[in-house]
Chains A and B, each alone.
Chain A
């Protein structure tokens, strides 16, 4: 609940005015609906009474009938305005929330970010934001405007019909609906959480089944895994059945509440009219108002079904937003060159360190290649050198400062790492490159493309405006690799860290690309992780990590 409150507070701060206006219109809609039925009922009953009494000719028909028309049209207009305003405000707030989520996730430490990659966390984050539109639209605003409409109706019914009927209506509706919603909301929490977990189990087991079905078939496990997938779904359906039953029971309770309130208002009105405390038309107005008040509680039923899901989504989004950013403070060092002293790294909980006591130095203009079998820690050294992983022993100096003391911004201006699986995004070639250098002119872009032996490819595809698909599709593996390298070169770093830079390139292109890198950045200190012969030959020195 408090998670939902936090989310609403965020949305509220962002869109206070629009939400207030929308809520005011929402109250108007409800009031107009109550007024419409109340006045119509009163009008018909009063006309019937006047007709019976033979005073029809002097009965004022124009004011009530004008009021009926005004309320009918007013309600329609107010509803249109209310929906437009609240949806617009909510969408604005959610768009803002997405941006904040991106910013907060970008600030996560590297080992957490890596775990996000390719996992469902991403899809969940987006689905979570989608689920949150219900917080203002289906929960808080209807609840708020419903309560306000109840309060105003109480005042009006008291003034026009009488205190007894007014009290009956407000106590019955607010109390009855309140108890129902609290009960249903509490009942729904556990099954909706369980249904969500079962949904995730279904998804991950099914993906496992599809991805490993050959292995499973050979080891006779297809039936077992299929059963596991279906069992997760069966659990989820059982929880959804429970949820649906809770929601329907809430609906049943609200519906019966409506009937009881309306019959009560009718009976009470009849009793009071028979005692002469009320005219029959006022009794009718009370009854019709009771019918219309149903509209203040009925929409909350949807919220009951959603509240568990929204709560989960809110908790996850809050959790991500609360992530503390990586150190933003630090210094800017001078000088260049990279130096590792007695460097060691051990994964948390692992029995053996990945590496220990590593020493090396790369001066400007030098190239050092780290060699060794896979698993020997080459990539780990690069990640530490890029400041993404903290060494568990020794330290790395960049220029005059320890790496840990550098401010993030100036560190990134001095040093670039091209990881083994660097990512490209949808967009033009120009956008892909200017991501690294927003101020670069087209001539600079063509320069670096030429160095990477990509100019021909890009020209044949239609130039810098050629649009890459999602994840950079539209280029071959080798072309994508060279584009990623070109992007890094545009930063003109003093220290360049390359993880298997020529992977996926044929020997001739690899040689051209490697020579190009050095020619483009003659002064850079270059550290690579390599196992290709060409890269090892290209480096000035090779350090074997085995």
Chain B
């Protein structure tokens, strides 16, 4: 637990390392702004004391106003720098996540990683803009005010000296409770939201079962229970901050009453020889609240720190799960030259803690090949290996006469077509999903993939936006669209993953027909399948059983 917390601190510190100088400067500016207040206090004391003495020191009033404006501007600038530094740190981390995930070959779910890179990382920002400067102020401002107090009156200094440390001590206790509290509170809110999300996802079933009333009332109970729990947690937090305020209030009240009695001449101690002057009394009174303020700011920002550490923890886990990136950059480059021949020898990968070995084989240009084997045998992995999207443990893949490496992978992929088992579509028009924005006539490809009629039947044809998994289309239609997409790049080799899985015989025949039409143009096919009928249409069958 303690170790984990230490790691979170390290991740957070590493995240802020590039902007450390900026943060230090901004915290310094924020501290300087806080230190203007003692000057303003002195000016007010001068003005009021002058008034008591029958003078009108207008310069003090003007000085107070100028100093106040200066303080406001300094704070404004410090806040701007803090925000900029925080934004930079967060954006750097976000870019790192996006860049690595773009080339990753495996990893956490898309939703989870998008949440981490999006709203979760943002939680670091309040830590930077609120907690960090408060921390800077705490280390300077109370000590300066303490020194000023002792300079004027040892009694007031003593009040500060005794009540001040009570706050950090209490805050350490409160801090622990508050950290737990905010964590629990977050968890409660999270689980309530999960409940709602789950019920919303199951709405159709709930309606079909006539269970709306049951579900709403049980959800209402859950919501009420969680509210009660959240409140009991908040109560602790409010109580703690009330106690902090109480300490500060008692301190200020003690100082005020002492100064009042001293000025009246009732008390004869606490100063060095002469009694307090009216100016000194007013000065000390004005300083008192600001002695406690930095500590209260820090404790108010405590949950910002807890939230930032929680995010740092998740970021640390993401970093630790560093996965192998794919070969190359995934950018569009010129096609690799040479005959589209593939040769595989001694290939072995490690997957899920066990070794998968593949038989050696060669696929000459234009040949059609079925990779046949039970699920889990590593057919999909082999397709990914051949496309440079996974890296083998051992063995050699030669493509177009060259070894498949980071240098050749992009050029090799430019010659490939790809049909994944589960089609995913970008949140863009169907035309963009087929051509990726290149100008191209898609009619021929749609016809070859036997999907022309399907596109014609869509609400806005090629301009239709498909759901992320091709919502509005059947599984077979979505598959054939990925085939059309492959045909459009005039591939030399098509890699297809289970193109006929979960399809009825008729639809499977249509997909197979499209594949054979593509093969007739001279394109090699490498098809992972457990459909014996599809396999029998290929020139060769390579059985993958995992036997080493």
Contact = CB atoms under 8 A, between A and B. Distances in A.
A144 interface: no
Nearest to A87: B234
20 contacts: A40-B252, A40-B256, A44-B260, A47-B260, A51-B265, A56-B266, A57-B264, A68-B253, A68-B257, A110-B204, A122-B201, A214-B420, A244-B83, A252-B73, A267-B58, A283-B51, A374-B477, A412-B208, A424-B202, A435-B215
Interface in B470-510: 472-477, 482, 485, 489, 495, 503-504, 506-507
A350 B458 contact: yes
A47 B149 CA distance: 20
A205 B98 CA distance: 11
A148 interface: no
Given A270-B47, A412-B208, A40 B285 contact: yes
A215 B214 contact: no
Given A45-B52, A220-B410, A267 B61 contact: yes
A88 B231 contact: yes
A84 B489 contact: no
Contacts of A225: 102, 426
Interface string B74-117: 01100110011001000100110011011110010011011001
B387 A214 contact: yes
Interface stretch (A59-67, A177-185, A454-462): A59-67
Interface string B173-199: 000000000000000010011111111
User: Interface centre among B68, B205, B235, B458, by most A CB within 10 Å?
Assistant: B205
Contacts of B507: 373-375
A315 interface: no
B329 A222 contact: yes
A10 interface: no
Interface stretch (A71-79, A392-400, A513-521): A71-79
In the A-B complex, list the 9 residue pairs whose CB atoms are closest, starting with the nearest. A222-B330, A259-B68, A220-B332, A48-B278, A412-B210, A56-B264, A349-B459, A255-B72, A423-B202
Interface string B446-462: 00000001101111100
Contact of B231 (A91, A99, A283): A91
B265 A220 contact: no
Interface stretch (A149-157, A229-237, A332-340, A361-369): A229-237
Given A210-B101, A214-B418, 20 more contacts: A52-B278, A102-B215, A110-B204, A113-B207, A130-B189, A207-B468, A217-B387, A217-B388, A219-B485, A220-B330, A221-B330, A224-B332, A226-B98, A233-B94, A233-B95, A248-B83, A280-B51, A374-B474, A375-B473, A491-B210
B416 interface: yes
B245 interface: yes
A270 B49 CA distance: 11
B206 interface: yes
Interface of B: 44, 47-49, 51-53, 56, 58, 61-62, 64-65, 68-69, 71-73, 75-76, 79-80, 83-84, 87, 91, 94-95, 98-99, 101-104, 107, 110-111, 113-114, 117-119, 189, 192-212, 214-216, 219-220, 223-224, 226-227, 230-231, 234-235, 238-239, 242, 245-246, 249-250, 252-253, 256-257, 259-261, 263-266, 275, 278, 281-282, 285, 326, 328-333, 384, 387-389, 410, 413-414, 416-418, 420, 424-427, 436-437, 453-454, 456-460, 468, 472-477, 482, 485, 489, 495, 503-504, 506-507
B375 to A, nearest CB: 13
Nearest to A503: B502
Given A68-B256, A80-B239, A122 B44 contact: no
Contacts of A91: 227, 230-231
A43 interface: yes
Interface stretch (A163-171, A414-422, A442-450, A474-482): A414-422
B413 A220 contact: yes
Contacts of A197: none
Contacts of A44: 256, 259-260, 263, 278, 281-282, 285
A348 B259 contact: no
B80 A245 contact: yes
A65 B56 CA distance: 28
Given A45-B278, A99-B220, A215 B418 contact: yes
B260 A280 contact: no
A514 B460 CA distance: 41
B61 A50 contact: no
A27 interface: no
A327 interface: no
Nearest to A273: B51
A160 interface: no
A92 B228 CA distance: 9
Nearest to B259: A44
A73 B249 contact: yes
